Amino acid sequence: MTQPDYELERALHAQGYLRIAGVDEVGRGPLAGPVTAAAVILTPAQIPQGLNDSKKLSAKKREMLETSLMAEAEVSIAHATVEEIDRINILKASHLAMERAVAALDPPPDYLLIDGNLIPKGLRTPSEAVVKGDGRSVSIAAASIVAKMCRDRVMVDLAQQHPGYGWEKNAGYPTKQHREGLQNIGVTPHHRRSFKPVHNILYQE
| Ordered domains of the chain (ranges, CATH) | 7-151 (3.30.420.10)
Sheet of strand 20-26: strand arrangement: 74-80, 35-41, 20-26, 111-115, 127-130
Q: What is the pLDDT of residue 204?
A: 74
pTM: 0.96
Contact 148, 62 (CB under 8 A): yes
Residues making up the annotated binding site are 24-25, 115
User: What local confidence, expressed as pLDDT, does residue 205 receive?
Assistant: 45
- CA separation for the pair 5, 51 (Å, rounded): 9
Q: Which residues are annotated as a binding site for a divalent metal cation?
A: 24-25, 115
Phi/psi class of residue 187: alpha, beta or left (left: φ > 0; alpha: ψ in -120 to 50)? beta
Which residues of the chain register pLDDT less than 70? 1, 205
User: From residue 51, how far is each of 11, 129, 146, 149 by CA, in Å?
Assistant: 20, 20, 11, 14
Contact 40, 143 (CB under 8 A): yes
At 100 the pLDDT is 98
pLDDT tens readout for residues 15-68 = 999 999 999 999 999 999 999 999 999 999 999 999 998 989 999 999 999 999
pLDDT reported for residue 93: 98
Is residue 36 within 8 Å of 26, Cβ to Cβ? Answer: yes
